[in-house]
Amino acid sequence: MRAVRFHEHGGPEVLQVDEVEQPTPGYGEVVVNVKAAGVNPVDTYFREGAYPVPHLPFVGGGDLAGVVAAIGDGVEEFLVGDRVLGTGLGNGRPGTYAEAAVAPADALAHLPESVPFEAGAALGTVGGTAWQALVHHADVDPAENVLVHGGAGGVGHVAIQLAETMGAHAYATASPDDADALAELGAERTFDYAREDLADAIVETAPPDVVVDLHMDQYLQLNADVVNTGARVIGIGNDTAEGGFDDIGVTKGKEVQYQFMSLFNAADLGAVLAGVADLAARGEVEPVIHGTYGLDEAAEAQRAVMEDSFLGKLVLTP
């Protein structure tokens, strides 16, 4: 079968399509014939060597959607032929940029027939992260104000839809070029992230009860300044706030709760994916697919996910 591997760390050019052996499942594992694989910024960190890999050459990619091809001992919840989506691969084990991949059964969920494979692959990391942020950590109540920093990004554009589905008022920071598209996804207003009076504009419009922040290095102090008392700020990503707070006292005065999270700390990752898949089947969450690439275009896809400005997600289709 074909798989995209890097034999050394470096830029996108180190990715190449190789012929490799068809994988076989171990105990508790499932082999999935990959119909689509999500492309995420984190995939590039493994390729560059910023995150470790167990060996070289290595197959990257964390998200997939496809059809179960083989089942290992101890797996009871899936059958050969089942449609599935999954996430969390490419970290300590070969990933999803391939025609087939092995996944732990608990990193998979059933993909409803009504959800295309491309959408399923696009939802893995970003849909699960949005779910953990808003459902598990923030426990959003109907009619609360939810502000999503980076609303046009993978997690951001799904978080907007999920917040609306939960009955909350969704707002976002993003480029003005994306405002109309985000409004269609459920954002009641999009704030230009570059405006000098951003904090004032947010407070005058809708002080948030919940903030989903994918750019903590930029917004630590702003979040504290604009939120309501008792607000929850959910920090996602690896950005480092070099300057920290200018006035940390305001966080105590408002009793702001900060939760820094990773999807892969979820107690039941499969259940999170199942919840996201159910929302997708009901049309309440739908990832925007900005671009689709073949395996031989994986290098361009990884370049684009880091360098281009776009709304939504990129996927590979083996």
d(CA 147, CA 169): 8
pLDDT of residue 163: 98
For the chain, the farthest-separated pair of C-alpha atoms sits apart, in whole angstroms, at 60
Residues 228-278 pLDDT 10s? 999 999 999 766 555 566 777 787 788 999 999 999 999 999 999 999 999
| Residue 163: strand, helix, or coil | helix
Structure tokens at 207: 């002080």
Structure tokens at 261: 């999270």
Q: Which of 122, 157, 198 is nearest to 310 (CA)?
A: 157
Q: Do the bridges between strand 2-6 and strand 15-19 make them parallel or antiparallel, or are there none, so unpaired? A: antiparallel
Q: Name the phi and psi angles at 179, rounded to 5.
A: -60, -45
Q: Is the pTM of this model over 0.75?
A: yes
Residue type, 268: D
Average pLDDT for the chain? 95
pLDDT of residue 197: 97
What percentage of the chain carries pLDDT values higher than 90?
92
Q: Is the pLDDT of residue 214 over 80?
A: yes
What percentage of the chain carries pLDDT values higher than 70?
97
Q: Name the phi and psi angles at 96, rounded to 5.
A: -110, 0
Q: How many Cβ atoms from other residues are within 10 Å of residue 310's Cβ?
A: 15
Enter the DSSP assignment of 265.
G
Q: How many Cβ atoms from other residues are within 10 Å of residue 171's Cβ?
A: 24
Element (DSSP H or E) covering residue 198? helix 198-205
Listed in sequence order, the residues at least 6 apart from 265 whose beta carbon sits closer than 8 Å to its beta carbon are none
316: which strand partners? 37, 293
Average pLDDT value for residue range 25-43? 98
pLDDT of residue 241: 53
Kindly provide the residue ranges of all beta strands, DSSP E only, lying in 150-305, ordered along the sequence: 169-174, 187-192, 210-213, 232-235, 257-260, 289-293
Give the Cα-Cα-Cα angle 125, 129, 134 (nearest 5 degrees): 155
Range 195-215 burial, b when 16+ CB lie within 10 A, else e:
eeebbebbeebbbbbbbbbbb
Q: Is the pLDDT of residue 4 over 70?
A: yes
67: which strand partners? 33, 83
Which residue bears the tokens 């969450």? Answer: 285
Residues 136-147 pLDDT 10s? 999 999 999 999
Which residue bears the tokens 């197959």? Answer: 59
Report in angstroms the alpha-carbon separations of 288 from 5, 127, 296, 301. 27, 12, 22, 16
Element (DSSP H or E) covering residue 316? strand 313-316
d(CA 125, CA 104): 16
All domains in the chain, ordered by first residue: 2-111+288-316 (3.90.180.10), 125-263 (3.40.50.720)
Residues 85-106 pLDDT 10s? 999 999 999 999 999 999 999 9
Enter the DSSP assignment of 98.
B
pLDDT of residue 238: 65
